[in-house]
Amino acid sequence: MARKSSAKQPAAEKPAAKLSHLGAGGEARMVDVSGKDTTERVAVAEGHIVMQTETLDIVLNGNAVKGDVLGAARIAGIMAAKRTHQLIPLCHPLPITKVAIDIEPDHRLPGFVVQATVKVTGQTGVEMEALTAASVACLTIYDMVKAVEKGMRIEGIRLLEKTGGKSGTYRAEGHEPNEKSSKG
């Protein structure tokens, strides 16, 4: 009689997802989106910049030496979204129709929560543009107040939501869309 092994058998492996930016030989390539339908596509991304309460107060009171910290961060985020294809090698240049950067203080961090919403009517999504916008807005806040505090942390850069295209809607676990992000 054959003895049964007490070790658990590994679960059947799922087939690996095909990475669209890799060719058959593993070489990087830009995806051909010419056959995709043109649809409205929206992506929302966020990031947090964590700082000391004193630094947060300086920004909120408008006392930063370099000037309007949050205004500069909003403009930088918008500019970054529009130039994502120049920063991320395999991104397509897109005719972006909307970029909104919302920055809210969060005393629990303490710091700011940055949310970037990007919209396009096109053949590919704007997830990278939203992620880039949120990242650069956070970096700009850092740059504007680094003379006060060099130990700030940028955390939690992530995609919250995307709509449109063949893959449909994605929403990060626990994320509920707000009116600002869902309005055109």
In tens, the pLDDT along 3-29 reads 444 444 444 555 556 667 667 777 777
Mean pLDDT, residues 69-97: 97
CATH class as words, domain 39-172: alpha beta
- Minimal CA–CA distance to 159: which of 121, 118, 99, 120? 118
Give the SS3 label for residue 47. strand
Question: Which pTM does this prediction carry?
Answer: 0.84
What does the alpha-carbon distance between residue 115 and residue 182 come to, in Å, rounded to a whole number?
Answer: 12
What is the average pLDDT across 103-121? 98
What's the pLDDT at 14?
Answer: 52
> Quick one: pLDDT at residue 177?
83
Selected residue with higher pLDDT from 28 and 49? 49
Helix extents (H) in the chain: 53-60, 69-82, 84-87, 127-145, 179-182
67 against 182, higher pLDDT: 67
pLDDT value at 61 more than 70: yes
Angstrom CA distances, 27 to 6, 13, 21, 42, 139, stand at: 43, 25, 8, 29, 31
Q: Which residues are catalytic?
A: 143
What is the pLDDT of the chain when averaged over all its residues?
A: 89
